[in-house]
Structure 1
Amino acid sequence: MSPANQDDFQSSLDTVISHISKRQSSIDKIPILPTSDSIANSISSLPSSLPEIGLGVSATTNYLIENVLPGILQAQNGPRYYGFVVGGVTPAAQLADILATSYDENVQVNLHQQTASTAIDQRTLELVLDLLDIPRSTFMGRTITTGATASNVLGLACARDHLLSQSPHLPSNYSWARDGPPSAPGLPSPPIVILSLYPHFSISKAASLVGLGSSPKIIQQLSAHSEDELAFDLSKFENRLKAEQEIRRGVIVVYGVGEVNTGGFGRDLDKVADLCRQYGAWLHVDAAFGGFAGLMPELSPYTKDMDKADSLTLDGHKWLNVPYDCGLFYTRHTSSLTNIFQPPSASAPAYLASNATTVEQGIEGDLPEGTILAADVPSPLFVNIENSRRFRALPLLASLLSLGKEGYREIITKNIHFARSIAIYIDKSENYELLNSSPSHLKSSQKDSIISSNIVLFRPSKNSPYPPSIPTSSIRLTKIINDSKQLYVSATSWRGQSAIRIAVSNYLTDEKRDLQIVLNVLEKVGKGEEVDFIN
């Protein structure tokens, strides 16, 4: 970089830092949504074609800040954005993400004598297990992905090859990844089914991507417990596993920890895991956000048996509050990852050769059992979809170190208490109907557990100006709430009903500052009154 360009970069860096700092200091006050005019101006400002002569760093930076950014979500990582399950960005994670971009390392090959990046990746994955009180030795197969969808792809791919390798209908150690779709006399059609209660859409996408299919013939809904719609009917579940075992069909069981619409938890994960083990099914636990709820002690019974899974999906950019994108994948079957994603040594590109010689567990000094030493970390490109990716571990490592277990416990607990305060208001209001009240077994064991965790699911009542008898009421009300620009909620569907969902998962959300703002908006729109944004 020439001195002139260096000066231009420094000046633009100062502009960016000033913009970030100003936005961060006022993120609780700025409107969440951009105005319609801002969106239109942002789009209309985009160049119709690539300029022959570039604008330069300074002019481009100013253009982005003044013309482009005003048209995007202004505070998705702010304290009152409750759409989907979206966390914020902790200060340490935000700064580390800037550093990761500045260093711009492609963390895919283990060159441990030249860079510590893959060892940092691995230790960060181990620290997340520490956060969840899961022994590191439980899941020796680990990698960082783009998110829960990619992690679910890995989980189903591993399950697919593991199950087929043990099928009596196929040659020993058959691999779909190596040998393609199976065909053999007596092989059931389909050769593998996925059983679940309420699988997230990402499971359907993952099943399509790994070639299993996503039709109801493949992804089949299990019967729920008569007294708990989020719990397996264990008797019917076992009968189904027996029937599949008799025809030697592969079975993947997907167990969700934290239902996406209600935030609720099923029971008996340990018993589900025992039955899967008994009948040779693969248990994939999708705990994208709910897996961290157990940091709040009263919810720990619903997450404590995640270590019994064959594969586990978690998300960093949800409740861990690190920037997009950051997903986490774990499996106890390390070889299932490398068998799929690592090419045979004879065909592996020489320029991607790794320093690593083994994937064996290594212990040095006082390191916990299951810690993988730098030389033994498998190259991430051999346990993951991508051949190139950014240094996603750095922001996560920074956030984990800055907050520690106690800091994350406080975030989880505060978010859940905040959501429960909203739920109490909804439950008492004449204008709303709460749809996700806690089941009796949870209420009996928890204080103030009107809802299970951090999600409030509701709809307008028959007394409101938006009666549920009109199919579009919840969608209309969602738009009116969001148009206030003071909070953001999302529309959804539950039990065939349209509904509204508030998901609280941001470290910035503060009950003293934000609760009254939320309740004021809900009170006014529930009565049919307009709400104008007030800064």
Structure 2
Amino acid sequence: MTASQREVPDLDPRDFRDLLRYAADVAMRHWERLPDGAAYVRPPDALVAAVRAQPLPARGMSSREILDRIERDFVPYRLGVGQRRWWGFINSPPHPVGIAADLIATTLKNNCAGTSQIAVTVELTVMDWLARLVGLPAGSNGLLVSGGSMANLVALAACREAKLPGTRRRGLRAATGQPTVYASTEAHSCIVRAVELLGLGTEALRLVPVDGEYRMDVRALRETVAADRAAGLEPICIVASAGTVNTGVVDPLNAAADVAREYGCWFHVDGAYGAVGAALPELAVLYRGIERADSVALDPHKWLYVPYEAGATLVRDPATLRAMFAHRAEYLALEQDSYLEGPVWISDLGPQLTREFRALKVWAVMQAVGLEGYRELWRSDIAVAQEVARRAREHPKLEVVAATDLSCFCVRYMPRGGDVNAFNRTLLDHTHRDGRMFISGTTLGGKFALRGCVTNYRSGLEDAQICIDTIVELGERLERESP
């Protein structure tokens, strides 16, 4: 049977253009409603059940029927990322040119593993930009990955092979002692996952106390590392945070780097959220020491306003990634002077051979915004978070639970009596049902806080007041309804 005799999923250029325009209209209707719409809309139980019960169809549907169903059944029930007060977790609205670039990258379907192709060149360029942005020295580079969890895992895998040579081949039998990793109690949970996946085990992760501002206590770090070394353990890595997930504070990077150097440890900085803040001159003192890192995790899909997925692992010496991951199957081997051979196989720097062209959307957004544009946006986000905290301090029913270096806020409502933590947990649920904003929650020093992280180019100072008004209004209503 020839292609002309069977049903093939192809379109002539005019029909393809019409399909893209139809899809663009669906996206645009969502985009128009988004800024002032509900920050969260939960899908009805009946719809969830219907979607889960649907079997794979025996015959395909038309493209327009599919897009109509997407708009009717899926688009309305969304996490409202891009709504003016979407401040939950750490999630920024995507820059429009990033969305457009992602469409083009999907159409190209380049496998950005290696060979002489422009996708590899674009990724190497983007990684150079990111390394310079956070202050790493010339020669630093790396690769794009899915997000912060993978970025940290890849960095710690490189650390394991660098500090425990031979583990890639022999496993942890190559270790002469018990390898140990150090991070603060405020470190992201993906650090725990990384040590588990790398075979080190959670018992190999030492969680160091934080100070009153929730920064790593470097004195406690040094004492812990020294005690472990004296007990015969093998310290291999110190993980510091450049923008913690809970409060947005930056650990004392330079002091942590001193400890790493003193004990021969790999120095890793988890800057998935906040590493880019190093490019703000007024915050430079906070980031002193990041340039000494052996590796940095950074997420362009967070504070660079790039569409999902876009994380990055940066390393001082790219050879450390090759030492951990380089592998070339026979069917991929090329002669040195081959027409296909390129400058580097990026697949040798990480765990994936099949790699999407993530770099195109990162390149496009960074081109569109520029360094000074980013600085203006970051300053605006920081100002909004500071305004929320300022207004909370001034309100008699609110308390600021923690300060921030960047664009987070942590506040709580103080009811007349009862369990304050339980009250605020219920209040958080009420904010999600209300829909005027989306924030999340966390516990700090035993206090449950309403937490937001402003990484939203649509947010303004007026949204800080709406946030406070909403918390107070819903809190007072909850007090009246409580027994």
Give the TM-score of the pair, scaled to structure 1.
0.81
| Count of residues paired in the alignment | 468
1:337-352 superposed matches below 5 A: 337-343=321-327, 348-352=328-332
* Structure 2 match to 1:17: 24
* Structure 2 match to 1:162: 162
Q: 1:260 aligns with which of 245, 260, 269?
A: 245
Residue deviations 1:316-374, cap 9 Å, x none?
1111111111111011232321122113xxxx3122235779xxxxxxxxxxxxxxxx9
Residue deviations 1:193-250, cap 9 Å, x none?
1112222100001111111111xx311122445x65414333x433443444453613
SS in 1 for 2:22: helix
Structure 2 CA distance, aligned partners of 1:355 and 1:477? Answer: 64
Relative distance call for 1:354 and 1:312 in structure 2 (3 A) is farther
Structure 2 CA distance, aligned partners of 1:510 and 1:102? Answer: 36
Q: 2:69 aligns with which of 52, 60, 63?
A: 63
One-letter code aligned to 1:484: D
* Structure 2 match to 1:77: 82
Alpha-carbon distance, 1:160 to partner: 1.2
Structure 2 CA distance, aligned partners of 1:522 and 1:192? Answer: 46
Contact persistence 2:392–2:398 (CA under 8 A): yes
Contact persistence 2:110–2:356 (CA under 8 A): yes
Structure 1 CA distance, aligned partners of 2:297 and 2:469? Answer: 37
Structure 1 CA distance, aligned partners of 2:76 and 2:49? Answer: 10
Structure 2 CA distance, aligned partners of 1:495 and 1:390? Answer: 42
Q: Relative to total residues, which structure has the larger helix share, 1 or 2?
A: 2
Q: 1:407 aligns with which of 354, 357, 373?
A: 373
Q: 1:219 aligns with which of 202, 205, 211?
A: 205
Residue deviations 1:228-277, cap 9 Å, x none?
5414333x43344344445361321111111211112233x223212311
Structure 2 CA distance, aligned partners of 1:143 and 1:3? Answer: 33
Structure 2 CA distance, aligned partners of 1:328 and 1:468? Answer: 45
Residue deviations 1:83-136, cap 9 Å, x none?
101111012211111111111111112x21xx2111111001111223334333
SS in 1 for 2:70: helix
1:276 aligns with 2:260: yes
1:385 aligns with 2:351: yes
1:180 aligns with 2:178: no
Structure 2 CA distance, aligned partners of 1:158 and 1:427? Answer: 44
* Structure 2 match to 1:527: 476
One-letter code aligned to 2:199: G
5+ residue gaps, structure 1, are: 166-174, 358-373, 438-450, 531-535
Structure 2 CA distance, aligned partners of 1:21 and 1:53? Answer: 30
Structure 2 CA distance, aligned partners of 1:245 and 1:376? Answer: 44
1:307-346 superposed matches below 5 A: 307-343=291-327
Q: 1:517 aligns with which of 458, 462, 466?
A: 466
* Structure 1 match to 2:132: 130
Q: 1:50 aligns with which of 38, 46, 56?
A: 56
- Aligned Cα root-mean-square deviation (Å): 2.5
Relative distance call for 1:390 and 1:376 in structure 2 (3 A) is closer
Alpha-carbon distance, 1:435 to partner: 0.4
Structure 2 CA distance, aligned partners of 1:23 and 1:386? Answer: 33
Structure 2 CA distance, aligned partners of 1:78 and 1:219? Answer: 38
* Structure 2 match to 1:362: none
Alpha-carbon distance, 1:384 to partner: 0.9
Give the TM-score of the pair, scaled to structure 2.
0.90
Alpha-carbon distance, 1:45 to partner: 4.5
One-letter code aligned to 2:221: F
Alpha-carbon distance, 1:471 to partner: 4.1
1:181-220 superposed matches below 5 A: 181-182=172-173, 187-188=176-177, 191-198=178-185, 199-214=187-202, 217-220=203-206
User: Which one is further off, 493-502 or 312-321?
Assistant: 493-502
Contact persistence 1:192–1:251 (CA under 8 A): yes
5+ residue gaps, structure 2, are: 1-7
One-letter code aligned to 1:41: L
Relative distance call for 1:68 and 1:485 in structure 2 (3 A) is same
Residue deviations 1:422-450, cap 9 Å, x none?
1111112222211013xxxxxxxxxxxxx
Quick one: percent identity of the two aligned structures? 23
Alpha-carbon distance, 1:14 to partner: 1.9
